[in-house]
Amino acid sequence: MTNMNAHNTLRKDKRMSDSTIKAQSTDSKILPNSKRKPPRAGMGRPKGALNKVGSDVRLMVLQALNAAGGIDYLLAQAWKANPAAFLALVGKLIPAKVEADMTVRDENLAQQLNEARQRVAKVRAREDAEQAQEKADAIAAAVAEVRRELTAN
């Protein structure tokens, strides 16, 4: 309904003065857009809070597992009935990323770790050198083949 139609409708229905109709028509424009928001609107879920649906589903799965036989049922699935499905389930339960802070108190352990890192670096360097030598040999063979073809023609 346009503003003029609303004005005419108010005048006919309630027999109000022009000033009252103008006040009500301007108020009606403001009210629908001024809805009050909750105090935590837009902040999202707090860090570490569990998803309600996920926790409900986990609870249902655990209840179904207990009803099916618990550990004995899982063992039967793992070894006989359906090992692929069991291993897929296990894979979903293992965390994708594990973070840990460690303090090494044994100085020998830290020294052994550094020596192992140096050995790995040497092996990688040796492998890189071998790959580079293989590439160089392949290039030399290709150049020799081209020379033979040129001398033959």
pTM, two decimals, is 0.29
CA distance linking residue 11 with residue 16, whole number of Å: 6
CA angle 116, 118, 119 (to 5 degrees): 65
pLDDT tens digits, 119-128 = 999 988 988 8
| Share above pLDDT 70 across residues of the chain, in percent, rounded to a whole number | 76
Instruction: Tell me the mean pLDDT in the region 62-91.
Output: 83
Task: Tell me how far CA of residue 43 lies from CA of 39, 51, 91, 113, 130, in angstroms.
Answer: 9, 15, 32, 45, 56
CA distance linking residue 59 with residue 49, whole number of Å: 16
Helix axis angle, 3-14 to 18-30, nearest 10°: 130
**pLDDT at residue 14 greater than cutoff 70:** no
pLDDT at 118: 92
